[in-house]
Amino acid sequence: MKNFLSRILIFISCFIIVVSLSSWGFYVHETATQLAVYNLPNPLRKFFFANIDSLTSNAIRPDKRRNTDKTEAAKHFIDIENYGNGAMLTMPHNLQTAVLKYSLDTLKKYGYVPYQILIEYDSLVNAFKHTNSDSIIFYADDLAHYIEDANVPLHTTNNYDGQLTDQKGLHALWESTIPELELSNYNLLSKHKTTYVKNKEEVVWTALRRAHALLPEMFMKEQEVAENFPDSSKYISKMYYGKMTKVYSNEFAKQYATALSSTINDQLNYCSDMVADFWYSAWVDAGKPKLTQLYKCTNKNSKELRKELRSYKKNNLLEDSLIRANKD
Ligand SMILES: [Zn+2]
């Protein structure tokens, strides 16, 4: 029995490590996906809102798939340095050309999140064309996840956890610890107006370049803040399901967050806007199919949507206990 329990604990701790090193934490994935729903124009917004609980609760499904599917991991990142000097500017924007240039094995080794986004996008267009509610929600969710990952700077570099610069643990610090600590200070209301994306490839690579450009400052600020922290207060040891793990302390996280100013908040909003644009564009590219037959537009539903939109527009979602990640 003891053996069995320890095996379960090892499995769970492996899962936690995989999830924490693979994308925004569940908290931001869920929140970015939730915000994207509010930014949609109707009739899409009503349809997505009718499915918002499913969308948010499955927001990290692609991370979970990594535990059972070995091909999954490479879909979440791109170690751009491994594709050669200047690859961020010169890599082909389309998958077929990239495979010809680098080989599929290379893409699987160094990651290919930009191409995965476009694959998911095509699947979503197809799901809209077939007006299959379950498929639409499934692919919309997965598409959102990969877009959100592509906007995490550490998903665009081979120094993905600060492991090459003696800053190990930076990944979870930036994308999980800080947003979870600081969300009450974030402005979650986006001024962006959801628009049709004509050149999806270009928009994906613009987002990647934007995220990648944040890296030097991220590494530098960590070093600056660390100057005031001896190791004893910079890190704490935390028990994660039976395994002692060294992580950045909350005190360090708060000072580092201040040093980064609004960077993480901006990336959260930027990726959420991008998700809304891509969902909307997929619906347009599918020929704007009618969605009214796919969900029940009840009074209760409409009332809840109005309430959430009011709260969102005042940036009060957290105070009004409407952040779904807090319930999960
Ligand atoms: Zn991920």
Structural domains in the chain? 2-326 (1.10.575.10)
Ligand 1 (ion): which residues have CB within 5 A? Answer: 22-23, 63, 76, 149
| Residue 29 CA to ligand 1 centre (angstroms) | 9
Phi, psi of 8 (to 5 degrees): -60, -45
Strand bridging mode 243-248 / 235-240: antiparallel
Rounded distance from Cα 75 to ligand 1 centre (Å) = 8
> Contact 46/296 with Cβ under 8 angstroms?
no
Q: How far is the CA of 200 from the centre of ligand 1 (A)?
A: 20
Bridge partners, 246 (sequence order): 237
Q: Say how many Å lie between the CA of residue 155 and the centre of ligand 1.
A: 9
Residue 60 has, within 13 A of its CA and on its CB side, a CA count of 21
The pLDDT value given to residue 240:
65
Q: How far is the CA of 50 from the centre of ligand 1 (A)?
A: 25
Q: Mean pLDDT, consecutive 10-residue segments, the chain of 328 residues?
A: 44 42 78 98 95 96 94 97 97 96 97 98 98 97 98 98 95 94 95 97 98 98 95 86 84 97 97 98 98 87 96 97 90
**Partners of 161 in the β-ladder:** none
Both tokens assigned to 233: 């207060």
Question: What distance in angstroms lies between residue 28's CA and the mean position of ligand 1's atoms?
Answer: 11
Distance (angstroms) between ligand 1 centre and the Cα of 297 equals 32
- Tell me how far the alpha carbon of residue 33 lies from the centroid of ligand 1, in angstroms: 13
**pLDDT score for 208:** 98
Judge if pTM exceeds 0.85. yes
Could you tell me the distance, in angstroms and rounded to a whole number, from the CA of residue 79 to the centre of ligand 1? 14
CA-CA distances (angstroms) from residue 153 to 31, 103, 212, 225?
A: 18, 25, 5, 19
User: For position 23, what pLDDT does the model report?
Assistant: 61
C-alpha of residue 35 to centroid of ligand 1, in Å: 18
Closest C-alpha to 301, from 108, 90, 45: 45
- Decide if 127 contacts 141 (C-beta within 8 A): no
Distance 81 CA to ligand 1 centre (A): 20
pLDDT given at position 241:
60
Angle of helix 250-260 relative to helix 263-285, nearest 10 degrees? 70
Q: How far apart (Å, rounded) are the C-alpha atoms in residues 322 and 316?
A: 8
